[in-house]
Amino acid sequence: MLRNDWTIEEVNAIYHKPVLELIVDAATVHRQYNTTAEVQVCTLLSVKTGGCSEDCSYCPQAARYNTGIDAHRLMKYEDVVERAAEAKHNGSTRFCMGAAWRSIKDGADFDHVIEMVRGVNALGLEVCCTLGMLDETQAQRLKDAGLYAYNHNLDTSDQFYKEVITTRTYDDRLTTLDNVEKAGISVCCGGIIGLGETDDDRIKLLHTLATRAKHPESVPVNALVAVEGTPLEHQGKVNIWEMVRMIATARILMPKSMVRLSAGRNDMSIIEQSLCFLAGANSIFAGEKLLTTPNPEVNQDKLMFEMLGLVPRESFKEVKASASVC
Ligand code: SAM
Ligand code: DTB
Ligand code: SF4
């Protein structure tokens, strides 16, 4: 049974279990609710890169930090659809378009993104966007164009958020999540570890996600990619056991959600990634780039899937399953 009434004490107790016991518990829940050999393969594309007005201290795309990234305006429709077709060819079933915007502004650029959503949807891919804050009308326009999911992360606890970002609030984030949900778009919401937060901040983030009226359909768990030029450039690498603890706790709290092993895979061995899959991760970003930072090569991931006996999850599985029940 899915629960939305987890107490902070319960989350704390799960998170702090001896790690091997935690993995066994998470793997058991995973097996009970999901096909454990299945891993969703998603591709990310930065359709508008850099020059962002926000001050997210982890982000290489904030205009105020000198990170040397290759900034570019909104990509052309044809180029985006071509990249989506290529992603589909390489086995991805979800295509996520990211823009370095604080929020969506109505106008030509948004109209253009709406066309991209239509074009990618027509390829039979699950379309996802991450475009910053949005209002109810904008969410509805995206939904009408065929948007399947919207990524908007809470990143950390309410309390620690202010230490990481000052140009918007936690409540702003929650409002956007509500707008996305009201439009009937699937919510993708998770966080980052390695920002200098405490275990309590991680526990509070997981508690906030798991006590929403509806669990997010997907929960990305990112390890900070410390980029030179950002205020967090000197943060140490996230330890694999911290990643495993986060993934396993998310899996136990939100049994049916897709838990995505997101940023940070490029620094992990196949054995480390296997521990994450064992702990309940069932989604990855594929392709040699995330938004601006490197990710494992497609062939390397194909080899990993073969080695571990993993199979890519089909697209729209959730929708197909509920249609066959009706
Ligand atoms: N501008 C939009 C927003 O902030 O929602 C969308 C793009 S933003 C890059 C999407 C997410 O990427 C952030 O919420 C954060 O969780 C993650 N992210 C950004 N930079 C990262 C980094 N250096 N390491 C790990 N995750 C990162
Ligand atoms: C998410 O949670 N992680 C992805 C996606 N959602 C948009 C982004 C990771 C970005 C890592 C830094 C970069 O490549 O710029
Ligand atoms: Fe802008 Fe998003 Fe990066 Fe923050 S995380 S600086 S909002 S692109």
- Summarised one tens digit per residue, pLDDT across range 108-124 is 999 999 999 999 999 99
pLDDT value, residue 320: 74
CA angle 224, 228, 230 (to 5 degrees): 70
SS3 171: helix
- Give me the residue spans of the domains in the chain: 8-325
Ligand 2: atom nearest CA of 290 is 14
Q: What is the pLDDT of residues 262-272, one digit of tens each?
A: 999 999 999 99
Mean pLDDT value of segment 275-303: 96
% of the chain surpassing 70 pLDDT: 99
How close is the Cα of 56 to the center of ligand 3, in Å?
Answer: 6
Distance 1 CA to ligand 2 centre (A): 31
pLDDT of residue 315: 81
pLDDT of residue 258: 98
What pLDDT does residue 324 have? 60
124-164 pLDDT, tens digit per residue, is 999 999 999 999 999 999 999 999 999 999 999 999 999 99
Q: What is the mean pLDDT of residues 234-252?
A: 98
Does residue 94 contact residue 116 with C-beta atoms inside 8 Å?
no
> Can you tell me the distance from the alpha carbon of 104 to that of 23, in angstroms, rounded to the nearest whole number?
39
Residue-averaged pLDDT of the chain: 96
Q: Give the pLDDT of residue 314.
A: 87
Within 13 Å, how many C-alpha atoms sit on residue 4's CB side?
Answer: 6
Has 326 been annotated as catalytic? no
pLDDT score for 183:
98
**Percentage of residues in the chain having pLDDT higher than 90:** 95
Please name the residue whose Cα sits nearest to atom 9 of ligand 2. Answer: 263
In this structure, CATH architecture of domain 8-325 = Alpha-Beta Barrel (3.20)
Q: What is the DSSP string of 274-291?
A: HHHHHTT--EEEESSBSS
Give the residue-averaged pLDDT of 231-245: 98
In sequence order, the 6+-apart residues with CB closer than 8 A to the CB of 238 are 193, 194, 223, 224, 264
Per-residue pLDDT at 47 exceeds 60: yes
Q: Which atom of ligand 1 is nearest to the CA of 52?
A: 1
The answer to whether residue 128 is catalytic is: yes
Q: Which residues on neighbouring strands pair with residue 39, listed in sequence order?
A: 312
Helices in the chain by DSSP H: which ranges?
Answer: 8-15, 19-33, 77-89, 108-122, 136-144, 158-164, 170-182, 199-210, 240-253, 270-278, 298-308, 317-325
Atom 2 in ligand 3: residue holding the nearest Cα:
100
CA distance 271 to 116: 37
